[in-house]
Amino acid sequence: MRIVIPDDHQDCVRLLDCFGKLAGHDVRVFNDTVKGTDALAERFADAEAIVLTRERTRIDAALLDRLPRLRLISQTGKLAGHVDLDACTARGVLVTEGSGAGSATAEIAWALALASRRHLVSEANRLREGKWQGHLGQQLSGQRLGVWSYGRIGRQVAGYGRAFGMQVWVWGREASTAAARADGFEVAPSRDAFFAQSDVISLHVRLGAETTGIVTADDLARMKPAALLVNTSRAELIAPGALEHALARGRPGFAAVDVYEQEPVLGARHPLLALPNVLCTPHIGYVEKDNYERYFGIAFDNIVAFAQGRLTGVVNPAALSVAR
């Protein structure tokens, strides 16, 4: 099969152990990102299968109409609205997905919290510049950690908080808070209290139509001047422009962000990068070797199965009834 893998920013996919699963197939890997139907149609022109790295590439009906050879989209991880599933089904394009269970994103969330509270990046840079101590950090032990959504990643972050001696509480849907209670964690008495009384808030909400913009300007305005907001989930969870304005006003006083509305962010062209009270990283939460081996391994397995006439991980089996 002719397989295209776009958006491999670090040129690392070919170095993964699992890449060997595609031996015998014609594979093209692109390390840059292109936008727009014309550019993507040119890039995918000969593709029979496309491997998507999370939500880095958007597939819509207009693009699919330009890709008559495409038979399979193999998603790393779960779909999240970036693929028009109905359009794929109507055109006979199968879509597969898989899931992982690593701790990479939870670990980066915790690393961002630690680094922000102790000003690790700026202190390390000061030392390289020939300077000595410049900021008074703050320990996490004893502080109130708010975890919004107690799913797989939220559960891990809550566990880290407990291990570090933080007062952990959770906010989210009823099923989420019920699971947290069952694990012995406190549930915030209200959304207002969650934002007003937490010293650190870490977002782990799945992005969807109901959760887009779920964190509002009013929520942020309730946070303490010394509070820290950590977002390793999705930028769109926060109302457009709300975080930048809130940080400029001093509530919350700090943020640590790994996700952005439009990625990749190049040329430092994002308003958060101009603010001194934000620690920004380039969406590296899930970009980790073991995680990649797991996610890409499943995606490649789904392609191999398809090439052998088997189906695994298919989310739109109705596409099989459409001639392609």
Task: Tell me the one-letter amino acid at 165.
Answer: G
Report CA 92 to chain centroid distance, whole Å. 29
Indicate the pairing of strand 26-29 with strand 2-5.
parallel
For tokens 């790295």, name the residue: 53
Task: Using the structure block, give the residue that is written with the tokens 């776009």.
Answer: 6
**167: three-class secondary structure by DSSP:** strand
Pull the structure tokens for residue 178.
């019920």
- Quickly tell me which residue has 């990749």 as its tokens: 264
Active site residues: 234, 263, 283
Q: How far is CA 152 from CA 40, 106, 135, 158, 159, in A?
A: 33, 9, 34, 10, 11
**Integer CA distances (angstroms), 99 to 6, 102, 291, 292, in order:** 19, 10, 10, 11
* Distance in angstroms (rounded) separating the CA atoms of residues 117 and 232: 16
Q: Coil, strand or helix: which one is 242?
A: helix
